[in-house]
Amino acid sequence: GYHRVLEENRKLYNQVQDLKGSIRVYCRVRPFFPGQSNDMSTVASIEDGTITVNIPSKNGKGRRSFNFNKVFGPSATQAEVFLDMQPLIRSVLDGYNVCIFAYGQTGSGKTHTMTGPKEITEKSQGVNYRALGDLFFIADQRKDTFHYDVSVQMIEIYNEQVRDLLVTDGTNKRLEIRSSSQKGLSVPDASLVPVSSTIDVIELMNLGQRNRAVGATALNDRSSRSHSCLTVHVQGRDLTSGATLRGCMHLVDLAGSERVDKSEATGDRLKEAQHINKSLSALGDVIASLAQKNSHVPYRNSKLTQLLQDSLGGQAKTLMFVHISPETDAVGETISTLKFAERVATVELGAARVNKDSTDVKELNDQIASLKAALARKE
């Protein structure tokens, strides 16, 4: 009866909504470290999707609120943070491109969200492990109708150079980002390793972490100055029709977004600062021009924006986790991070597109039109 129509209506509506949308932004606040005092917090309140921060000023206290799709407070668990991401993972297996990236100043919890703490347990696993776990789980549920091949790449962008993190022989070749009509943007020369279980993935991620640590010294925590990207390529064959789908998921742990004081940096440190600033400010420029719907978007200005080109403006589903530290002395970075995130949230993506052998934009537009028509009829 009535309820069923309502339910169907809602389903159709969700399908349409699913195909279009803005970049989703989730904000996460890191807890204080043990021993730190809580009344030093920058965060005044968290309510649904709104976070309000205290802004210190000469004449008393100022406040500013920011709205996001979700805000996770300091007590949110890894499981809670991942909770509603299953539809995104399902999308990869349906042939969409998905990008999940972590933004924030060094020490705000990016790696914690994406990978986990130093000693990773099942409970403390980050998004990367959970996403791959779900991917294999859903692929297995579909095994009677689809055959999936999954392979991963892991790269690092450091000083505007792309490096393969999955090498086993210590080579350190500079890689190129190439664009092809078939696969979109990719790094064809980076190791592409087939995986069939989460255990395979854990081993590869450990290898990547070890390779990433090469070159890091106590003073030079490279991980905070390079962008790392785990890319999962999925190819699915429909066992009845023989059609193939290709989905891809970028899981990106960005370099720290803090502004490095160039007057203090010298030598390698200065070079790093300039390169990171270049990549992250290029990301800012891309976001700004997408937000303003400019016809020219300057993707080519950095390696990072080249790599993410298909995920930022195009037919992908994109989620940004923006991280903030609660300490009052970080308030400057916190505000600029939240302002950046606010701008990201206004970027509208085009209709997400399935990478299917026979699918083209027209087909998808027709599909949307017929869904909309169906919706209109039911209203």
Q: In this chain, which residue has its C-beta nearest to ligand ADP?
A: 109
Q: What residues have CB less than 8 Å from 98, skipping those under 6 apart?
A: 88, 89, 91, 92, 247, 248, 249, 250, 311, 316, 317, 318, 319
Which partner from the list ligand ADP, Mg ion, none does 30 bind, CB cut-off 5 to 8 Å by kind?
A: ligand ADP
CA dihedral 225, 251, 66, 43 (to 10 degrees): -60
CB 123, min distance to ligand ADP, A: 12
Residue 165, helix vs strand vs coil = coil
Which partner from the list Mg ion, ligand ADP, none does 275 bind, CB cut-off 5 to 8 Å by kind?
A: none
CB 32, min distance to Mg ion, A: 18
Pick out the residues of the known binding site for ATP. 104-111
CB 222, min distance to ligand ADP, A: 12
Which partner from the list Mg ion, ligand ADP, none does 112 bind, CB cut-off 5 to 8 Å by kind?
A: ligand ADP
Q: Is 111 left (phi over 0), alpha (psi -120 to 50) or beta?
A: alpha
Between 199 and 218, CB nearer to ligand ADP: 218
Eight-class DSSP state of 260: P
Task: Determine the residue type at 353.
Answer: R
CB 32, min distance to ligand ADP, A: 10
Specify whether the CB–CB gap between 378 and 12 falls below 8 A.
yes
34 exposure class (CB count in 10 Å sphere: 0-12, 13-18, 19+): exposed
Distance, CA of 11 to chain centre: 26
CB 297, min distance to ligand ADP, A: 27
What does the binding site for ligand ADP look like in residue numbers (CB under 6 A)? 30-31, 104, 106-112, 117, 224, 256, 323
* In the chain, beta strands by DSSP E: 21-22, 24-29, 43-47, 50-56, 61-67, 70-72, 97-104, 146-158, 161-164, 178-180, 184-186, 193-195, 227-238, 244-253, 316-324, 348-349
Q: In this chain, which residue has its C-beta nearest to Mg ion?
A: 111
Between 222 and 269, CB nearer to ligand ADP: 222
Which partner from the list ligand ADP, Mg ion, none does 104 bind, CB cut-off 5 to 8 Å by kind?
A: ligand ADP
Closest by CA position to 321, among listed 67, 124, 87, 103: 103
Between 26 and 299, CB nearer to Mg ion: 26
Which partner from the list ligand ADP, Mg ion, none does 117 bind, CB cut-off 5 to 8 Å by kind?
A: ligand ADP
**Where does 34-105 have alpha helices with state H?**
78-82, 86-93
Q: How far is CA 94 from CA 51, 198, 229, 302, in A?
A: 34, 20, 22, 30
What does the binding site for Mg ion look like in residue numbers (CB under 5 A)? 110-111, 223
Look up tokens 């699913």; give the residue: 18
Between 184 and 326, CB nearer to ligand ADP: 326
CB 276, min distance to ligand ADP, A: 13
Between 31 and 284, CB nearer to ligand ADP: 31
Six-digit token string for 201: 């993935």
Between 24 and 110, CB nearer to Mg ion: 110
Specify whether the CB–CB gap between 32 and 74 falls below 8 A.
yes
CB 76, min distance to ligand ADP, A: 7
Between 130 and 227, CB nearer to Mg ion: 227
